[in-house]
Structure 1
Amino acid sequence: MTKSIWATILEKDEAKGKALFEAIHRYGLGVNGHFWVDDLDKMQWAGAFSEISKPETAAWVIRGAQASFADETKRYGLSMLAAMVQALKGHGFPILIIGDAGAVDPATLPTPLKGAVALADDASLMPKLVAKANTPVPAVATQYHLDIHPLPGLGQWFEVGPAKGHAWAGAIFGTEGAEVDAHGVGPRGTVPERAVLEYPMKGVKFSMGESAFDAWAVKNSLDEGNSYYLRVKGYPKAVAFGSLPEGDEAELYVVGLK
């Protein structure tokens, strides 16, 4: 099986895309890709998932101008797609970022992209890309499970739960700059059609640092076999979630998306 690269070009620039594809081909890798479509309402960010998820896709390359990596709608879409990819292929799956006219610092990007590797557009680019594509994906332990389910006509659903080998005594999920309008608990991997919720709560408000979150919660116990699902209206700047706190102390995970 020939290993392949999926390339996302953040601006519709035929010359830029052609140059990248030809360079990857010369180094013996398969390559496919797309120009980014910036349409959050239609969840166009999910369009590339079926290709990136293929077994032969060994790395995801994102190339664009500095302004594109700073654009909040692009950052949100890339974050959502990255979360889907990481839920399937693991957080060690290589996401490689090429910034035009200067390197992009992954530390400035939203949470799902902070582990990306920045590559300079110079003579070392292709050898480094090939090396990443041919290196076994390392196992990266996470403290939580996060996945995204873009369902046409049914909205964008977030799936959260404990990491493998852990359990939560209930769950809470909050959004910054958006709102939850439906929730459920069910087996991991599939948004449930029906769910029995234990002590469902709505309209919970809390702050973490300078960010204020509107949250829903349940007291259902969760383990690595099931998850808490929430439909979110709008495009949150960040989400915060974790085991339902007891008392005033809370240890929640915050995932920035913009």
Structure 2
Amino acid sequence: MKTVWISALNKSAARVEAVAATLRKYGLQPAGHAWTDDPAKLAWRAAADAFEAARADLWLILAEPAELALPSVRYGLSLFAAVLRQRRGVDVPTAVLWQGAPAAALPPLLDGALVLDETSAWAAKIVARVNKAAAPVASDFRFAVLGDERLGQWFEIGPRSGDWDGVVFGIAGADARIDFQAVGPAGGLPEKTVLEFAQQGLTLEAGEQTFDAWAVRNRIDAGSSCYVRVNGCPEAVLFMPYAEDGDADATVLRLC
């Protein structure tokens, strides 16, 4: 039986029960949680861990316009999506269920989600989506978020194949700042690190946004990563391989 993981943004028990009952009628197993809007404590990460523990097959977000208007909620949803993608290596099937017509734009990292309306035959579309093979992640980079309330929030970046001659990582947003960086094996924070030609206080422009960036010249391959600790919730992050002449393509991910 396929498992559908429900993230209820508005914590309405009646709505969750109704959605869960409908999923059961269609032969799906519901599981999930009430969304906790506390990115400072990485509350979204506990939900992502629970998603994995349940071996869920599809992520179903019960949308609420007021909640989706909050940058902190959008940020948490974006990181949840990014972590699932990195852990599974595929674009995890995702659906957003509205009580009527969609009333707010989704965070960019959820652009591929199936958008549904409770007044339509939404459950049949969930069944079709959950039984469709998930597409492998198409990007040539790895992007994940690690840490907890004690360790802080760490972004992990690296190539999926080949190697980079270092990493440049920047953040945009007045309420966020970088305060540490490290290099080590992929998949977990290193106990110690040696940085080569580390740089701080760089300023980069991309589109209409300004990014405060740090850089390091350690060679990074598919088995290693650059880790950057960030305080706060950046509106967007930018990263790219280090290039002596500055001629490298940057990736910009909007998180809010």
Question: Structure 1 length normalisation: TM-score?
Answer: 0.93
Report the counterpart of residue 237 of structure 2 in structure 1.
Answer: 239
C-alpha change, 1:50 and 1:193, in structure 2 (3 Å) is same
Sequence identity percentage: 36
Report 1:1-258 matches (<5 A): 2-54=1-53, 56-103=55-102, 108-163=105-160, 165-177=161-173, 178-258=176-256
SS at match of 1:78: helix
Secondary structure of the structure 2 residue equivalent to 1:220? coil
Deviation at 1:150, TM superposition (A): 2.7
Q: Distance in 2 between matches of 1:216 and 1:111?
A: 24
Q: Structure 1 residues 134-143 or 78-87, which shifts more?
A: 134-143
Contact 1:169 1:221 in 2 (8 A): yes
Q: What secondary structure, in the 3-state scheme, does the structure 2 residue paired with 1:57 have?
A: coil
Cα displacement (A) at 1:235: 0.7
The CA distance in 2 between the partners of 1:214 and 1:83, in whole Å, is: 21
Q: Secondary structure at the residue paired with 1:53?
A: helix
Cα deviation digits, residues 167-197 of structure 1 (max 9, x gap): 2111010011221111111111001111111
Aligned length: 254
Partners in 1 of 2:116 and 2:158 — Cα distance? 33
Superposed structure 1 runs of 4+ greater than 3 Å apart: none
Contact 2:45 2:80 in 1 (8 A): yes
Letter of the 1:88 counterpart: R
Question: What's the offset of the Cα at 1:134?
Answer: 1.7
What does the per-residue CA deviation read over 1:54-75, in whole Å, with 9 as the maximum and x for residues that have no partner? Answer: 4731100001222222221100
- CA shift, 1:50, in A, is 1.9
Q: Confirm or deny: 8 A CA contact 1:6 1:51 kept in the other structure.
A: no
CA distance change for structure 1 residues 111 and 167 in 2, over 3 Å: closer, same or farther?
farther
Q: TM-score, normalised by structure 2?
A: 0.94
Distance 2:197 2:205 in 1: 22
Structure 1: stretches of 5+ with no match in the other structure: none
Partner Cα separation in structure 2 for residue 36 and residue 94 of structure 1: 18
Q: Is the 8 A contact 2:97 2:118 kept in 1?
A: yes
SS in 2 for 1:190: coil
Match of 1:142, SS state, is coil
Deviation at 1:109, TM superposition (A): 2.9
CA-atom RMSD, angstroms?
Answer: 1.6
Checking the alignment, whether the CA contact within 8 Å between 2:3 and 2:29 is kept in structure 1 is yes
TM-superposed CA distance for 1:248, in Å, is: 4.0
Gaps of 5+ in 2: none
Q: Determine the C-alpha separation between the residues in 2 that align with 1:182 and 1:151.
A: 15
